[in-house]
């Protein structure tokens, strides 16, 4: 591509080959122009796409009606923390989501290992079962689980919510782990088996130890799913102090339809954690693995 | 040690696995060597799978069976009620609301899948070329997918909900009238689909980018030397090379769209006048607002049956395509 050619147009004494130097410069100018056109295009698209998110941030930082502040302010955000249970909701969301992430990875990693290494009919049957379960509407499970959990005191309870989140993130988490394990050469494990290591030993000492990117990718996925869930939370959570942020934001929105600065401040509180997680860890995140894993077995 | 020989048998069976592990595996050979697995390995595999199996039974298996019971009873959330056979199913299947919701779900899914795929593919192709700060755009464009729906639906509401919202005001100032995006049944349906595409295209972009990254670029040089146009290169090289990944992303997105609840419910609540009521929203309302548990579960159950059949079929198709 021409982009390669213009990498260092000025470097080196190219006086001896004036002609080729000239054509090289022409190519690179065309390449540069194309690059900047594409830059402007993608900038415009990104700006349009991000309008709803920018609006949220701007409204959250703009002084609300009756405020004496000028310019941008954090008073809406501190305001929602003092006039709502935002701190409690944030805590509830963090506890539920982080427990979901830990348990989900802990269950999905061994299962993914079996799906990656096992080749029996039973294993591929289980893989099909996971695929089918993943495709079912969560609403089908929600009603029976509501009744079951009501009898066990798990309705309006963060533990009950976490159990359902683990169950619903587990299938995709298992595929993602399996896809990552597929990329770890079996020869590493063979070496440990020769040293007398068991299959379980090689899984924990060899495979897991080399799987940090896969584990992080799965963890991010579970984080996003649990943090963003609305349906399960709205069904299972009843009292204010047990709400997670999605239910909290929604109930505040419905009670304060015109208090946009408050609503948006709460919205910013809710969207920050996933954005922080994604911004710091996005290089580990790959959904491509889901497809590869699905097709591979 | 017998377990060691068994493990090296397992190792031999698994050797030759390509990194990335997608497709083209020597499956039959693997299955034939299954007998070489020792009982110990099988037992280890079982224990490793056990937590997952327990969760599948608790979160998916048990509720599915219980849902079958509820769908054949006229109970509520508290009370199982009396056995009514297939009455719930006949009343669901004869109600116009069900068919209207089914029709909307189908349209929503088609637009959701192909809309987000088209946008995602276009952006993935654009971002594959050299662009200043391309990496930053790649991350920024994922935001609609990362930001919780509860948040983005609120922002969309602010943008379009009332005649004085930002976007209707812009339309009015341009002399295009004042569209009532969420109050007009047709516009609301369009709005929900646009919102769904906005939420989902980053997922498609990620899937496509991953697939495009594995396409060997030297093929394009050869093709352009043979005089192939950019469009020919796109339709005859790029698309076929990413076909399998595309197929899988369509399948996943179909499942996401059919089962979607928050995108629709938080933007329009299923209205106006049920114009945006999908099957999941209808089932949710029947159970939690109209307290007709049997009716709602029957809707969910019909969806489940359809999805089981469709997903088993699609799963077979994916495997078939990956063996080739």
State how far the alpha carbon of B31 is from the alpha carbons of A118, A297, B18, in Å.
9, 12, 18
Neighbour-count burial for A159-183, b at 16+ CB within 10 Å, e otherwise:
ebbbbbbbbbbbbbbbbbbbbbbbb
Residue B10's pLDDT is 44
Among the listed ranges A129-138, A264-273, B72-81, B83-92, which one has the minimum average pLDDT value? B72-81
Among the listed ranges A83-87, A165-169, A226-230, which one has the minimum average pLDDT value? A83-87
CB contacts under 8 A, A 207-246 vs B, are 224, 227-228, 230-231, 235, 245-246
Interface residue A190 vs chain B (CB under 8 A) = yes
Contact assignment for B14 to A170 by CB distance below 8 Å: no
Residue A20's pLDDT is 44
Interface residue A167 vs chain B (CB under 8 A) = yes
Among the listed ranges A213-217, B3-7, B91-95, B129-133, which one has the minimum average pLDDT value? B3-7
Mean pLDDT confidence for B38-67 = 85
Of residues A254 and A16, the one with the higher pLDDT is A254
Which residue is listed with tokens 């662009």?
Answer: B131
d(CA A215, CA A101): 10
d(CA B199, CA B299): 26
d(CA B108, CA B188): 12
- From B59, B148, B301, residue closest to A227, measured CB to CB: B148
Of residues B104 and A294, the one with the higher pLDDT is B104
- From B49, B59, B211, residue closest to A288, measured CB to CB: B211
- From A110, A148, A274, residue closest to B48, measured CB to CB: A110
Closest-CA distance of chain A to residue B272, Å: 17
Q: Which tokens sit at A211?
A: 């799987």
Chain centroid to Cα B254, Å, comes to 5
Contact list in A for residue B158 (CB cut-off 8 A) is: 55, 59, 260, 264
Beta bridge partners of B83: B73
- Whether the pLDDT of residue A97 is over 90: the answer is yes
B45, B182, B208, B279: best mutation site toward chain A, by most A Cβ within 10 Å?
Answer: B45
- Whether the pLDDT of residue A48 is over 50: the answer is yes
Mean pLDDT confidence for B27-38 = 42
d(CA A65, CA A59): 11
Mean pLDDT confidence for B181-208 = 92
Contact assignment for B319 to A297 by CB distance below 8 Å: yes
Interface residue A8 vs chain B (CB under 8 A) = no
d(CA A57, CA B151): 11
- Whether the pLDDT of residue B211 is over 50: the answer is yes
Q: Which tokens sit at A272?
A: 């920050």
One-letter-per-residue 3-state SS of chain A: CHHHHCCCCCCCCCHHHHHHHHHHHHHHHHHHHHHHHHHHHHHHHHHHHCHHHHHHHHHHHCCCCCCCCCCCCCHHHHHHHHHCCHHHHHHHHHHHHHHHHHHHHHHHHHHHHHHHHCCCHHHHHHHHHHHHHHHCCHHHHHHHHHHHHHHCCCCCCHHHHHHHHHHHHHHHHHHHHHHHHHCCCHHHHHHHHHCCCCHHHHHHHHHHHHCHHHHHHHHHHHHHHHHHCCHHHHHHCCCHHHCCHHHHHHHHHHHCCCCHHHHHHHHHHHHHHHHHHHHHHHHHCCCHHHHHHHHHC
CB B155 within 8 A of CB A60: no
Residue in B closest to A103 by C-alpha: B51
CB burial of residue B269 (10 Å; 0-12, 13-18, 19+): middle
- Closest to B167 (Cα-Cα) out of B182, B189, B152: B182
Contact assignment for A199 to B210 by CB distance below 8 Å: no
- From B143, B149, B319, residue closest to A53, measured CB to CB: B143
The dihedral built from the CA positions of residue B205, B208, B213 and B215, taken in this order, carries a sign that is negative
Closest-CA distance of chain B to residue A92, Å: 16
Closest-CA distance of chain A to residue B42, Å: 9
d(CA B155, CA B146): 14
Average pLDDT taken over every residue of chain A: 82
Residue B321's pLDDT is 66
Number of residues that make up chain A: 297
Residue A165's pLDDT is 93
d(CA B203, CA A257): 31
Interface residue A52 vs chain B (CB under 8 A) = yes
Interface residue A286 vs chain B (CB under 8 A) = yes
The class of domain B88-323 in CATH terms is mainly alpha
Closest-CA distance of chain A to residue B257, Å: 10
Contact list in B for residue A128 (CB cut-off 8 A) is: 312, 315
**Assembly ipTM:** 0.82
d(CA B104, CA B102): 5
Contact assignment for A227 to B126 by CB distance below 8 Å: no
A199, A218, A234, A280: best mutation site toward chain B, by most B Cβ within 10 Å?
Answer: A199
Give this prediction's pTM. 0.83
H or E stretch at B33: none
Residue B139's pLDDT is 87
d(CA B152, CA A148): 33
CB A252 within 8 A of CB A262: yes
Of residues B149 and A19, the one with the higher pLDDT is B149
H or E stretch at B324: none
- Whether the pLDDT of residue B192 is over 90: the answer is yes
- Whether the pLDDT of residue B43 is over 90: the answer is no
- φ/ψ region of B108 (left if φ > 0, alpha if ψ in -120 to 50, else beta) reads alpha
Confidence of residue A295 (pLDDT cuts 50, 70, 90): low
Mean pLDDT confidence for A7-16 = 37
Among the listed ranges B50-54, B94-98, B217-221, which one has the minimum average pLDDT value? B217-221
**Domain spanning A75-296, CATH architecture:** Orthogonal Bundle (1.10)
Q: Which tokens sit at B236?
A: 């005859």
B50, B123, B146, B310: best mutation site toward chain A, by most A Cβ within 10 Å?
Answer: B146
Mean pLDDT confidence for B9-29 = 39
- Whether the pLDDT of residue B302 is over 50: the answer is yes
Mean pLDDT confidence for A176-185 = 85
Interface residue A134 vs chain B (CB under 8 A) = yes
- From B1, B21, B132, residue closest to A183, measured CB to CB: B21
Contact list in B for residue A293 (CB cut-off 8 A) is: 21-22
Sorted by where each begins, the domain ranges of chain B are: 2-61, 88-323
d(CA B102, CA B190): 16
Sorted by where each begins, the domain ranges of chain A are: 2-49, 75-296
- Whether the pLDDT of residue B186 is over 60: the answer is yes
Among residues of chain A, what percentage have pLDDT more than 90?
28
Q: Residue B140: CB partners within 8 Å, gap ≥ 6?
A: A46, A50
CB burial of residue B218 (10 Å; 0-12, 13-18, 19+): exposed
Confidence of residue A75 (pLDDT cuts 50, 70, 90): confident
């Amino acid at each position: 591509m021409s982009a390669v050619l213009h990498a260092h147009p000025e470097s080196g004494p190219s006086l001896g080959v004036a002609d080729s130097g000239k054509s090289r410069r022409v190519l690179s100018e065309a390449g540069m122009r194309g690059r900047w056109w594409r830059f402007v295009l993608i900038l415009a698209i990104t700006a349009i796409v991000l309008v709803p998110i920018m609006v949220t941030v701007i409204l959250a930082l703009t002084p609300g009606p009756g405020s004496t502040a000028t310019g941008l302010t954090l008073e809406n955000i501190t305001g929602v923390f003092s006039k709502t249970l935002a701190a409690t909701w944030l805590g509830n969301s963090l506890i539920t989501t982080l427990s979901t992430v830990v348990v989900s990875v802990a269950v999905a990693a061994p299962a993914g290992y079996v799906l990656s290494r096992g080749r029996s009919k039973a294993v591929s049957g289980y893989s099909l079962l996971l695929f089918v379960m993943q495709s079912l509407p969560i609403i089908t499970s929600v009603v029976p689980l509501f009744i079951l959990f009501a009898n066990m005191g798990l309705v309006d309870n963060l533990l009950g919510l976490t159990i359902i989140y683990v169950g619903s993130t587990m299938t995709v988490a298992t595929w993602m782990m399996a896809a990552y394990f597929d990329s770890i050469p079996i020869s590493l494990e063979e070496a440990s088996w020769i040293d007398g290591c068991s299959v379980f030993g090689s899984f924990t000492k060899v495979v897991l130890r080399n799987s940090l990117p896969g584990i992080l990718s799965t963890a991010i996925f579970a984080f996003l799913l649990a943090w963003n869930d609305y349906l399960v939370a709205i069904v299972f959570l009843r009292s204010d102090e047990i709400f997670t942020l999605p239910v909290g934001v929604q109930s505040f929105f419905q009670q304060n339809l015109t208090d946009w600065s408050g609503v948006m401040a709460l919205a910013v509180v809710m969207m920050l954690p996933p954005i922080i997680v994604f911004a710091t860890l996005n290089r580990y995140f790959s959904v491509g693995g889901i497809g590869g894993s699905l097709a591979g077995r | 040690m017998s377990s060691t020989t068994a493990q090296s048998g397992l190792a031999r069976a698994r050797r030759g696995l390509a990194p990335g592990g997608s497709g083209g595996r020597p499956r039959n050979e693997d299955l034939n060597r299954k007998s070489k697995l020792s009982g110990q390995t099988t037992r280890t595999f079982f224990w490793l799978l056990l937590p997952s199996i327990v969760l599948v039974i608790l979160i998916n298996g048990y509720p599915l069976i219980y849902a079958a019971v509820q769908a054949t009873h006229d109970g509520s959330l508290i009370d199982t009620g009396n056995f009514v056979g297939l009455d719930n199913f006949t009343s669901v299947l004869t109600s116009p609301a069900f068919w209207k919701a089914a029709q909307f779900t189908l349209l929503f899914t088609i637009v959701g899948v192909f809309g987000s795929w088209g946008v995602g593919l276009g952006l993935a192709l654009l971002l594959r070329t050299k662009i200043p700060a391309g990496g930053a755009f790649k991350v920024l464009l994922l935001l609609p997918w990362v930001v919780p729906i509860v948040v983005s639906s609120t922002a969309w509401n602010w943008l379009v909900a009332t005649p004085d919202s930002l976007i209707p005001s812009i339309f009015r100032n341009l002399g295009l009238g004042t569209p009532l995006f969420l109050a007009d049944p047709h516009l609301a349906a369009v709005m929900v689909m646009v919102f769904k595409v906005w939420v989902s295209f980053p997922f498609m972009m990620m899937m496509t980018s991953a697939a495009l990254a594995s396409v060997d670029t030297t093929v394009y040089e050869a093709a352009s030397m043979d005089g192939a146009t950019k469009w020919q290169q796109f339709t005859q090289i790029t698309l076929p090379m990413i076909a399998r990944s595309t197929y899988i992303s369509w399948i996943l997105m179909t499942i996401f769209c059919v089962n979607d609840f928050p995108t629709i419910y938080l933007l329009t609540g299923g209205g106006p006048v049920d114009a945006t009521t999908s099957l999941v929203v209808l089932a949710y309302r029947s159970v939690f607002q109209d307290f007709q548990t049997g009716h709602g579960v029957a809707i969910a159950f019909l969806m489940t049956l359809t999805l089981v059949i469709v997903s088993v079929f699609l799963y077979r198709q994916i495997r078939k395509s990956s063996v080739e």
